[in-house]
Amino acid sequence: MKVLVRTPNWIGDSCISLGFLRSLEESTAGELFLLAARRVAPLFNGFGKIIEFSGRKELFQRSLSLRKAGFDLCFVLPPSLSSAISASLACS
């Protein structure tokens, strides 16, 4: 199973999400991919493959390029429209 997680953009929110990622990693067999803003990406070292972006344009470009990966499941942690759109582009 391939799982994509769109991580939070802010350091505090990213720290809070680490528990979720740990639980997800323990309960899911397969590959974990994290779509993370460059400024918070180092917080997620050790949790699957990190795909970094800087800015919305790069976020949407990376999301479109991820579509061919064929994700089985996608989680969107930030409550924003751009995060939801990027996940939809990557997981459709």
Domains of the chain: which residue ranges? 2-91
Q: Edge-to-edge strands of the sheet including 31-37?
A: 49-53, 31-37, 2-6, 73-76
**pLDDT, tens digit, 9 for 90 and up, residues 58-91:** 988 999 899 999 999 999 999 999 999 999 999 9
Per the model's pLDDT, the better-predicted residue between 92 and 74 turns out to be: 74
Judge whether residue 24 has pLDDT over 90. yes
Four-way CATH pick for 2-91: 3.30.70.20, 3.40.1400.10, 3.40.50.2000, 3.10.530.10:
3.40.50.2000
Q: Is the pTM of this model over 0.85?
A: yes
Cα 35 to chain centroid, rounded: 3
